[in-house]
Amino acid sequence: MVVENNAISLREIKISISTIDRVLKRHQMNMKQLYTVPFERNGERVKELRYQYVHLKHRIMELEASEPLHSFIYTDEAVFNLMKCRRHGQRGGNITMGAAISENGGLTHIPIIGPYNTERLVTFLDTLYRDLIPEQERGQIGDDLPKYVIVWDNVSFHHSNIIRQWFAAHNRMLMEFFSPHSPFLNPIEEFFSAWRWKVYDRQPHTQMTLLAAMDAACDDITADACRGWIRHSKRFFPRCIAREDIRCDVDENLWPNRQESQEV
């Protein structure tokens, strides 16, 4: 295009994402999606919320050593977009994976076409409940029974009345929220990062095979890996208790504190 018309401007050049992807792969290069890092991540309000989250979790962790057992279940939803790796003639679309992990590894995982919403989340929670609690124990009430603490982010439908009613009706299931702008505290972020590569390795090319690849890729991730990600998230706890600024991404390191800058 440029060879044919070397006076062409950048605004006149139109290249699809799939074409860019093919060219990069031919030259053994990868694409990385840009994302914004909010400056609020280290605001005083957010640091206080981090402190409260870790302080609360310490109190719940103390309960883990007593009876009944309290188990943390980390839950989130991640989007996989066909537009990023599709063949000619395919129509792109979003498929969303809802997943939960714990110290025991991957738990419930349900891929769906389109986004999660309150209704679909209730279906996910019903399945998670059945996966966690044996049939003979469902409906039982007692302080000696194990409890499960679902920890997830602050997306709006996690706060809906329907979701709160669901937890009220399931007395062995509790709900806690991560502090905002704190992905480093959420081990399932690393789960999804590893999971995406395993989906790509399966080279999905249609929505149905993509659904199968997304589902199977969850089973490829070991319990040891999940435990490692959970341990890594806990390494930030002392800094959260101290209300320190936390920069865990390369992008944020481009914006250091002025006091930390050095002349090179």
pLDDT digits (tens, 9 = 90+) for 205-258: 665 577 888 888 888 899 999 999 999 999 999 998 999 888 765 444 334 444
Which band of pLDDT confidence, cut at 50, 70 and 90, is reported for residue 2?
Answer: low
Residue 163 contacts residue 153 (beta carbons within 8 Å)? no
Cβ of 97: how many Cβ atoms within 10 Å? 23
Residue 148 bridge partners (DSSP)? 71, 173
Tens of pLDDT, residues 51-71: 888 887 777 666 556 555 788
What's residue 255's pLDDT? 41
Query: Residue 101: left (phi > 0), alpha (psi -120 to 50), or beta?
Result: beta
What's residue 82's pLDDT? 58
What's residue 3's pLDDT? 58
Full set of structural domains in the chain with CATH: 39-260 (3.30.420.10)
Contacts (Cβ under 8 Å, ≥6 apart) of 211: 95, 111, 113
Rg (CA), the chain: 22
What's residue 32's pLDDT? 62
Which band of pLDDT confidence, cut at 50, 70 and 90, is reported for residue 264?
Answer: very low
Distance CA 131, CA 233 (A): 25
